[in-house]
A and B are shown apart, each in its own frame.
Chain A
């Protein structure tokens, strides 16, 4: 477990958090390199299926972030997203998907330092929790390997 490096996927909106992450970089603030940022037009576009695909492909943690309420570039995208997250989080919790591994946050384009904190804290937390073994058991790579060994 010593050399475990958490794989974190961040789904962010183009207008706030992506710009915020840019600001983190331009202000020369360092943050953990474990995070892979995926840019979306809006948090309203971040479908729950996309989050599941991240876990399936071996992510140990997920960050979902967008504009603060009332700041959405499209006025209402993040409000819709918020309702969906509330419901999906309930469902994940009920089916035993670890909600501790998925962080929802609002990071605006001016909050470069908050973004660094969000990423660093998440990486530290996931590092402590270890790899997401439950989901890894049914992940794409594991099942592919099984399939190959069955054929051999």
Chain B
């Protein structure tokens, strides 16, 4: 922890960065994101086992972007987010100063995207066995059981859009959800609007989701909405050979094609 504070203090002092995004103590026993702009603020940085959430969602937020040159404490999910955002031309190489805490609490500094790509090749990027089991359980249901299951889950949705705000990939200035001419997504949170919203969210994240799980973490109603995008990871990987967030120059799987893409349902 001290090593992190010293490092960030040094970076702030010699003006390498203007602000550092890291973890700090929240008002309860939970951790929260802090944006250190001064040495004093940097001294409040912490790194505990509870510091697991993906901070990269803040990188493109208007308020944070305008703090100047940013540094960030990244975990594997955040590194993948940064790679995915780079492939979508949202972050340039060298634009963000990236620190990573190793298992032995030492710090790694990623100077360019190439080193992140090399690191991610060896990192564990799979969804957890628990999440895998939940997806398999849903897949084993019949079609109408699945419909009932998701209808019940979506029924809880209050359309707070916390999942959208928490997602590092949801950075559009005008989301389809906000469009009202035509009103693609009904504003009220009834079954139809909720289904529309969640399917739209899942489709727009298909092939871009880096399985950090922030959407489900953010959900106040405990909807397992991360499973919607997680279960699309495999088909996109096996079908199109694409995994999100691994290469800074990757092409989005759904904005390209191969003439011999395999399907078995078009007559």
Partners in one complex: yes
In the complex formed, the residue of A with least CB distance to B185 is A49
The residues in B between 160 and 210 inclusive whose CB is less than 8 angstroms from any CB of A are 176, 184, 190-192, 195-196, 198-200, 202-203, 206-207
Number of A residues with CB within 8 Å of any CB on chain B = 37
Q: What are the residues of chain A within 8 A of B196 when measuring CB–CB? A: 49, 52, 56
Q: Given the complex, which residues of B lie within 8 Å of A99, measured CB to CB? A: 143, 265
User: Does B220 reach chain A (CB closer than 8 Å)?
Assistant: no
What residues on A are CB-neighbors of B239 within 8 Å? 86
**Among residues 222 to 267 in chain B, which have CB atoms less than 8 Å away from a CB atom of chain A?**
228, 231-232, 235-236, 239-240, 253-259, 261, 263, 265-267
Grouping DSSP codes into helix (H, G, I), strand (E, B) and loop, the A interface class, with mixed when no group exceeds half, is helix
Stretch touching chain A among B14-22, B113-121, B145-153? B145-153
What residues of chain B lie closer than 8 Å to A139, measured between beta carbons? 192
The interface residues of chain B, by DSSP majority, are classed as helix
Q: How large is the interface on B (under 10, 10 to 19, 20 to 34, 35 or more residues)?
A: 35 or more
Report A73-100 residues with CB < 8 Å from chain B CB. 76, 79-80, 82-91, 93-99
Enumerate chain A residues within 8 angstroms of B199, measured Cβ to Cβ. 48, 52, 91, 95
Task: Return B46 CB to nearest CB of chain A, in Å.
Answer: 38
Distance of A3 from chain B, by nearest CB (Å): 24
Closest to B255 in A: A80
A85 CB → nearest B CB, Å:
7
Partner of A90, one of B145, B195, B232: B232
User: A138: which B residues are within 8 A, CB to CB?
Assistant: 151, 190-192, 195
Asked if B124 lies at the interface with its beta carbon under 8 angstroms from chain A, I say no
| Interface residues in chain A, defined as those with a beta carbon under 8 Å from any beta carbon in chain B | 48-49, 52, 56, 69-70, 76, 79-80, 82-91, 93-99, 103-106, 118, 134, 137-140, 143
Q: What 8 pairs between A and B have smallest CB-CB spacing? A: A96-B147, A96-B146, A79-B257, A138-B191, A138-B192, A104-B266, A105-B267, A95-B150
Query: Which B residues fall within an 8 A CB radius of A?
Result: 138-139, 141, 143-151, 176, 184, 190-192, 195-196, 198-200, 202-203, 206-207, 228, 231-232, 235-236, 239-240, 253-259, 261, 263, 265-267
